Structure 1
Amino acid sequence: MKRTGMRAALLALAVMLASTACAGWGGGVGGGGANSINVLMVNNPQMIDLQRLTAEHFTKDTGISVNFTVLPENDVRDKISQEFSSQAGQYDVASLSNFEIPIYARSRWIAPLDQYIAADPAFDQKDILAPMTTSLSGDDGKIYGEPFYGESSFLMYRKDVLAAAGITMPAKPTWQQVADIAAKVDGAEPGMAGICLRGQPGWGQVFAPLTTVVNTFGGTWFTADWQAQVNAPEFRRAVQFYVDLVRAHGEAGAPQAGFTECLNNLVQGNVAMWYDATSAAGSLEAADSPVRGKIGYAPAPVVETASSGWLYAWSWAIQAASQKKDDAWKFISWASSKQYEQLVGQEIGWSNVPAGKRASTYENQDYLAQAGAFAGPTKAAIESADPRNPGVQPRPAIGIQFVDIPEFPDLGTQVSQDVSSAIAGLVTVDQALDRGQQLADDVAERYRARAEGGS
């Protein structure tokens, strides 16, 4: 792909990833000086913990002060895209997900980390879970990001409800088995639905779980040679199954339900099962959770693939134009280290540890004492995720629950709106996917043209 073409496409990423701006905190870049770095990051709770711990436990030891700019997710994606595309070097480090990192690496907005990893054996790259390393690597095989915390997806279910119905959850359930169980436990308790599945529009909402269903049903957004497959039989069967299941046995208000709504439904006893992010388990097993100890965890349901869980990670990357890459690496290697996890466990609590990235986390007895119910299933879900081969056919880009191209946020969101309408009963699945096929083919045509032009 020509550099000019890639830059033009990537400059659109800010628009595609952004939504209406919200007021954040953290202000602009402050401080400065030879012994300081500027970090731009998302305002997730684990990041705020990091911000609080940095001065006392990183700056005091290294002499490197860290100036944080902290923003909500949509705003930070927008600002990072703008800042890194300009390569002004104002920010040294940014929090990026495994969606952005391969794209940014392709455009040379971020620096490879291999030389720092090689010179810092204490960081122990081999301890990073292999799918994380794969998803944070570029087309050239170099590592461009280090995970701060990560997740996959699995099936969460009320053990007591299934037991009362005489149902045993299979060790590796298929989607048909899950649908059968949902039908049997629908109404098992007053007001309880069989399952919660996201229906809220958005490439990161309904299509996070739904694309994993498409993958294991044998579908894909695009073939390896950029042929759109949104209304192909396999994609269609997967979406029809998902829509039928949530309409028949899903939660109330499904077309508006996202991660938070499903979490609340399971916690409040409104649903018997939920397929979603492994990160939800911490809330389900919190000390004040009414379902603590009542939840079982099974692998993401499958059809034609051996596994189907997604893969997501908030990670650190260094801007290519940074003049302080050595100090930036020192910060990253501390923030993503085993020692930092230990620090969080001791200072804040083991349930707050930014997990999902290191094998050693799942051998830490202090962590397991708090997370024992879901630690093993979480690690197994992440380790079984294959971001380069998530389905039954070759793919043109890395990604499990997304296609790692700048156009996907816009494409996925547009198609999701019609899928959500199908869940609401306003359009048919065929109508939704036929419109989606047109949108996907517009994207595919551009990539085919570039390939044919030798760019």
Structure 2
Amino acid sequence: MTFLRYLALFLTPLAFSLPLSAEVVHLVAGEREPYIGKRLQNQGYVSEVVTEAFARTRIQVDITFYPWARALALVKQGKADGIVPIYQEANQDNLLFSAPFPGDALGLLKRRDNPFQYQATNALQLEQLLLPLRHSTVGIVRGGLSLPQLGHLVPTEYANSDLQNIDKLYYGRLPYILIDKYTAVDLMVGHRPHYIGELEFLQPALAEKSFHVAFFSKAPHVATLLEAFNHGLAQMRLDGTLSRLRAKNGLLLGSDPLPHKVKLTIGSVDNPDMRIMQRLGKLFEQQNPDIELNWVFLEERILRRRLLGDLAIADGQFDVMTIGNFEAPIWARRHWLVPLENLPDSYDVADIIPVVKNALSSQGLLYALPFYAESAMTFYRKDLFAKAGLNMPPKPSFTDIAALAAKLNNPEKQIYGICLRGDAGWGGNMALLTSWVHAMGGRWFDEHWQPQLQTAEWVQTLQLYQQLLQQYGQPHATRTGFTEVLQLFAKGHCAIWIDATVAAGYLYDPEVSKVASVTGFAAQPTGKLPAQWLWVWALAIPDSSKNKTIAQRFIAWATSKEYIGLVGEHESWVAAPPGTRMSTYHRPEYQQRAPFANEVFQAIAQSRRDERTLKPVPYNGTIFVGIPEYAAFGTRVGNRVAEVVDGKIKIDQALQQSQDIVLKQMQDSGYLNPNRNPAPATESQHQP
């Protein structure tokens, strides 16, 4: 028997028992995105690791967030069992450290116009890497992450925070700063989106730092808690759970390529259509034996951060990116994407639905190829409507939707009157809200880029959204996005659902949907205007890819007419990628299996920019605002909306905070004069 097999047997739950009084461990933590935070999914990677490790020995975890200094003080005073994550070199008074688990990657960030690169990309001695910088200055955070020998090798300058250091770097006050790679990414994506594309992370990282749980040395059962965590962590290493959690959170992007093959890394949203592409990708690999496809599937919010973060620091991790019609024209104008100019005649670009092609183009060039496109629909359960003696209007109003949801709500039988995406994010709850605000007659900005989030239309929309989810919606609504609600509806738990038309292929497939035979559809709700929705999931090649030619070969295959035929042949015609090619809607087999086909085609093909808002606006987009900064402020506003649904803040408070967030971003990015009061400004100041 090998040592690892012996160890696995030793680490079985049966070999471990705990005192009854040690069933819950109380930990404290500070916000440290993307590793741990209250607003992250499941509170982030670190929280998931700790929770799972203790669960292996049937201990529950309670994590409370405080400012870091306060959290550490509480542990040292014995008012909490431990703190996470923490580094071994921290002040060790009254602390016992757990076994390590993977942490962050500490390295140097610089401006892209600084030509310095390390002389080698493999891990060398720190002294060798930093020797050329001995006459430069490196910014570090006072009391934050550092390297013990750094100050002996290069001059250092202190700042109070990583964000302050990033600002100094951007404005040329420092040539280099020491920072964790993913912290840099999240700070730029969430707080300094106008810096993206200007900074670069030097490879390799200077140090891979490990995280620990630190326990109060005098806490009851501290030895048991320490042993329990280490026990669970060891199991997680052996069975791959630790690597899976890192990958799930976008902190581990894949293995080394197989010998004699080129590894093509594809960053993709994790939904049923993309999983079909992964399965059929085996056929592409058979046809191209020199290529290995490395799939990185991430939850939508994490994917967007990782892709944008890859561009933010020129990381070059991805060869193919799954992006949308929000990113494609913006990233193209910034020269982040490869133009797709030499597609073979057999690809038949003219077959792409014109509005979809235009949405992925800039200055007449395609910068992404459409995998599927969507509008939105009102899905409903015909059997529940019939039983209640109700009818769904072909073009319901928002008033109709609220009244029907109230009559059909039956939570005792796990039937919810309406299910809606509620997860916070510009592509989550704000996609739905933006479409509804526009339909209600509202807008994000007036013609002069002044934010309009405290108007009656925003209040009315948010009141409706809050009412529907709080009174008739699914439990834990703010934890559920498109994929989770899709599963709820397919399992029969939703009477009504308003969301993307791409869901129809899944809901009408009896192999995966319990309600395939009783699902009906109607138009999106109407307010002062009919709601509009246009989104395209597309495949693009970042300029940082080292495999551009091979990447284009793959994305042309995955978005071709032939690929759509493969889905029909190997999966089902109802699952064929919709909304991209006119030829799809001419296929008799697709028309026969997809009763929703014509409605989806018309909704997408007839999308009109000039009819999406009641008042004029300076931006593109039906479910987003087509400017680079929206990825940052849209998500921050989405967090306030989620707090409204959870009952944590009032609507007026949420909209006031949101107005302030958006106004500051527009001032920082130059759309408005920062010394001007919130009053109409000239449109010529900034027109993306």
Per the alignment, residue 326 of structure 2 pairs with 99
Q: Which has the higher helix share?
A: 1
SS in 1 for 2:464: helix
Per the alignment, residue 27 of structure 1 pairs with 255
Per the alignment, residue 393 of structure 1 pairs with 615
Per the alignment, residue 300 of structure 1 pairs with 524
Tell me if 1:337 matches 2:560.
Answer: yes
Root-mean-square deviation over aligned CA pairs? 3.6
Instruction: Please tell me whether the aligned partners of residues 161 and 188 of structure 1 are also in contact (alpha carbons under 8 angstroms).
Output: no
Tell me if 1:72 matches 2:280.
Answer: no
SS in 2 for 1:313: strand
Letter in 1 for 2:641: V
Tell me if 1:135 matches 2:135.
Answer: no
Tell me if 1:452 matches 2:672.
Answer: no
Greater RCO (Cα-Cα under 8 Å, separation 6 or more): 1
How far does residue 226 in structure 1 lie from its aligned partner after superposition?
0.8
Instruction: Please tell me whether the aligned partners of residues 199 and 313 of structure 2 are also in contact (alpha carbons under 8 angstroms).
Output: no
Tell me if 1:278 matches 2:501.
Answer: yes
Instruction: Please tell me whether the aligned partners of residues 260 and 290 of structure 2 are also in contact (alpha carbons under 8 angstroms).
Output: no
Per the alignment, residue 319 of structure 1 pairs with 542
Instruction: Please give the per-residue CA displacement for 1:373-420, whole angstroms capped at 9, x wherever unaligned.
Output: 333333333234346763223333322212233332332222223222
| Mapped partners of 2:627, 2:608: distance in 1 | 17
Letter in 1 for 2:521: Y
Tell me if 1:194 matches 2:417.
Answer: yes
Instruction: Please tell me whether the aligned partners of residues 384 and 495 of structure 2 are also in contact (alpha carbons under 8 angstroms).
Output: yes
Letter in 2 for 1:10: I
| Mapped partners of 2:572, 2:385: distance in 1 | 32
Structure 2 counterparts to residues 160-199 of structure 1, below 5 A:
160-187=383-410, 190-199=413-422
SS in 2 for 1:234: helix
Q: 1:348 to 1:29 in 2, by over 3 A?
A: same
Q: 1:28 to 1:71 in 2, by over 3 A?
A: farther
| Mapped partners of 1:395, 1:31: distance in 2 | 54
Q: 1:147 to 1:321 in 2, by over 3 A?
A: same
Instruction: Please give the per-residue CA displacement for 1:68-97, whole angstroms capped at 9, x wherever unaligned.
Output: 353424555445435445668775543322
- Pick aligned residue for 1:236 from 459, 467, 475: 459
Instruction: Please tell me whether the aligned partners of residues 194 and 271 of structure 1 are also in contact (alpha carbons under 8 angstroms).
Output: yes
| Mapped partners of 1:145, 1:121: distance in 2 | 17
Per the alignment, residue 338 of structure 2 pairs with 111
Q: 1:165 to 1:10 in 2, by over 3 A?
A: same
SS in 1 for 2:486: helix
Instruction: Please give the per-residue CA displacement for 1:308-339, whole angstroms capped at 9, x wherever unaligned.
Output: 24222221223346676555433322221111
- Pick aligned residue for 1:266 from 442, 464, 489: 489
Q: In structure 2, list runs of 5 or more residues that go unmatched.
A: 1-112, 114-169, 172-191, 201-246, 674-683
| Mapped partners of 2:317, 2:466: distance in 1 | 46
Q: 1:28 to 1:428 in 2, by over 3 A?
A: same
Structure 2 counterparts to residues 433-452 of structure 1, below 5 A:
433-445=655-667, 446-449=669-672, 452=685
Per the alignment, residue 419 of structure 1 pairs with 641
Instruction: Please give the per-residue CA displacement for 1:181-204, whole angstroms capped at 9, x wherever unaligned.
Output: 223333499553322223333322
Per the alignment, residue 122 of structure 1 pairs with 346
Instruction: Please tell me whether the aligned partners of residues 193 and 629 of structure 2 are also in contact (alpha carbons under 8 angstroms).
Output: no
| Mapped partners of 1:241, 1:111: distance in 2 | 42
- Pick aligned residue for 1:246 from 460, 469, 477: 469
Q: 1:162 to 1:78 in 2, by over 3 A?
A: closer
Instruction: Please tell me whether the aligned partners of residues 376 and 524 of structure 2 are also in contact (alpha carbons under 8 angstroms).
Output: yes
| Mapped partners of 1:203, 1:108: distance in 2 | 23
Per the alignment, residue 350 of structure 1 pairs with 573
How far does residue 134 in structure 1 lie from its aligned partner after superposition?
2.5
Q: 1:184 to 1:403 in 2, by over 3 A?
A: same
Out of 248-257 and 159-168, give the one that drifted further. 248-257
Letter in 2 for 1:452: Q
Q: 1:96 to 1:205 in 2, by over 3 A?
A: closer
Q: 1:48 to 1:170 in 2, by over 3 A?
A: closer
Instruction: Please tell me whether the aligned partners of residues 325 and 535 of structure 2 are also in contact (alpha carbons under 8 angstroms).
Output: yes
| Mapped partners of 1:13, 1:404: distance in 2 | 23
SS in 2 for 1:290: coil
Q: TM-score by structure 2 length?
A: 0.57
- Pick aligned residue for 2:590 from 354, 364, 367: 367
Per the alignment, residue 9 of structure 1 pairs with 195
Q: Which has the higher strand share?
A: 2
SS in 1 for 2:502: helix
Instruction: Please tell me whether the aligned partners of residues 26 and 71 of structure 1 are also in contact (alpha carbons under 8 angstroms).
Output: no
| Mapped partners of 1:176, 1:253: distance in 2 | 24
